Structure 1
Amino acid sequence: MNKIDIRTVDVVQYVHPLREGGSLPAIVKADDGFLYVLKFRGAGQGKKALIAEFIGGELARAIGLNVPELVFMNLDDSFSKTEPDEEIQDLLKFSIGLNLGLHYLSGSITFDPLVSKVDAMTASKVVILDSLISNIDRTAKNTNLLNWNKELWVIDNGASFYFHHHWENWESHLDRTFPYIKDHVLLQRATCLKEASIEIQKLVHKDKIIEIVSNIPEDWLLSESDTLSPEEMKAAYIQFITTKLSMIDILVKEAADAR
């Protein structure tokens, strides 16, 4: 089992915002010399979107999908002071501290369901992944997939695990299936669902889930409005994912029926 090793880097240059993203992510340069797409803790869904992005991305990587390297990114207060755009200025101000970055895939293009190619096994894995993590945002309208070097890359998992916006009733989500899978952009190409589910079960087990969740920065789990402690939240994420994995045959049947 490959250990995940999440690097922490410092933002040294704010390059430009990505206006097509609802949460106004940005391309930034880090002190390692690389460019990243920075997801801000101060954006709409806040730190919970970063947690969903992180867990979803590392689970995708664990099942053999292409995912840009994820890094923790320190942002200091110097950038908001020199930013003329008031909206971005506020976003930078509210995002001081640890954020999440995805390695920038230069020259990548957004996956287009009408012209982009993807093999059946990859499509099936993405569909099952999104069923497991309750990702409501991988549709034809907003694919959250890239083509880079003639391969499919999975990005933007921030709309997953939507139960964590209301911790008081999170356990009611444990035995639910995922009817939204009917809108998935890759569903029609996912013709290897059974084979993909067998492979996923071989690649992801409880130790891997615990390892991923244990890497969530403590700071992201602290909120005055949440009723659970950071440790209780981590335990909840682990229980949610392991429960969904135990239901994988039901989720696969639901996706197959929706096809």
Structure 2
Amino acid sequence: MELRTVNVTRYVTPLREGGSLPAIAEADDEFLYVLKFRGAGQGVKALIAELIGGELARVLGLKVPELVFANLDEAFGRTEGDEEIRDLLKASVGMNLALHYLSGAITFDPAVTKTDHKLASQIVWLDCLLTNVDRTPRNTNMLIWHKELWLIDHGAALYFHHSWDNWKEQAVRPFVQVKDHVLLMGATELAVVDAEFKAILNEQVIREIAALIPDEWLAEEADEAAERREVYIQFLLLRIAASDIFIKEANHARETRF
């Protein structure tokens, strides 16, 4: 399991949704990407969450744009006229993360596109695992592209890593924010999905995904980077083992809300 690395060659346009100011950029493979910057608000932790969330989704058979490491040269952006963007580019020199740009995709609208119960259950299960608070009717972070549903933007997931406090306790907590999930109403097959997904997400798979995280995103020292990588692994393994807790919470939230 590995990600390609590209070099950013052209800053095309900012995407001014949210506070992280991602951008559409072109790379040396001549493809367009949605570039997520290490110098943005939540820094490399948002990139780690994006990487883990996206690759977990892919392993589980859900559709996610290709993720690549995107290298930003020190000279890049010096001629940028917008001071905010110039400062962001300067703070993001080095390895960033990017998603393949799905040209022509439209934002998922639950009032327009109906999702089958199995797919809704799969996405809700994944977001409960990741503690992803950012898949609400207000901001679905899903796209329709070629008549299929694609997941984007997992940067707000795994919020335990913003403090590192009591991560073992957080790993087995219910995900109460599931009550606001855009697909909760249709997620009626969580028990079936749970059995299927737990059979896929064994320790080897989790370790392979965690191994993708660049050491420099984890810590300055190699020993500390290894320790933090192991925390991500153990957090996910604990949460998978205790999935009954977040499934019970999701079912209760659906019954209460609808």
TM-score range, shorter chain: over 0.9
Matching of residue 68 in structure 1 with residue 65 in structure 2: yes
Q: What letter is aligned with 2:8?
A: V
CA drift at 1:196: 1.2
2:196 is matched with which residue?
199
Q: Which runs of 4+ in 1 moved over 6 A?
A: none
3-state SS of the aligned residue for 1:137?
coil
Matching of residue 166 in structure 1 with residue 163 in structure 2: yes
**Which of 214, 225, 232 does residue 237 from structure 1 map onto?**
232
Unaligned runs of 5+ in 2: none
2:147 is matched with which residue?
150
CA drift at 1:176: 1.1
> Could you state the TM-score of these two structures normalised by the residue count of structure 2?
0.95
CA drift at 1:223: 5.7
Map residues 213-232 of structure 1 onto 2, 5 A cutoff: 213-222=210-219, 229-232=224-227
Deviation sequence 1:63-118 (CA, Å, 0-9, x none): 11000000000001222211000000000000000000000000101111211222
1:83 is matched with which residue?
80
Matching of residue 249 in structure 1 with residue 240 in structure 2: no
3-state SS of the aligned residue for 2:195?
helix
> Could you state the TM-score of these two structures normalised by the residue count of structure 1?
0.94
Partner Cα distance (1:33, 1:64) in 2? 27
Q: Which segment drifts farther, 245-254 or 166-175?
A: 166-175
3-state SS of the aligned residue for 1:176?
coil
Partner Cα distance (1:204, 1:169) in 2? 23
Cα gap change, 1:172/1:198 in structure 2, threshold over 3 Å: closer, same or farther? Answer: closer
2:105 is matched with which residue?
108
Cα gap change, 1:167/1:63 in structure 2, threshold over 3 Å: closer, same or farther? Answer: same
Cα gap change, 1:222/1:90 in structure 2, threshold over 3 Å: closer, same or farther? Answer: same
**Aligned sequence identity (%):** 58
Unaligned runs of 5+ in 1: none
Cα gap change, 1:223/1:163 in structure 2, threshold over 3 Å: closer, same or farther? Answer: farther
3-state SS of the aligned residue for 2:209?
helix
Deviation sequence 1:193-227 (CA, Å, 0-9, x none): 11111111122111000000011001111269xxx
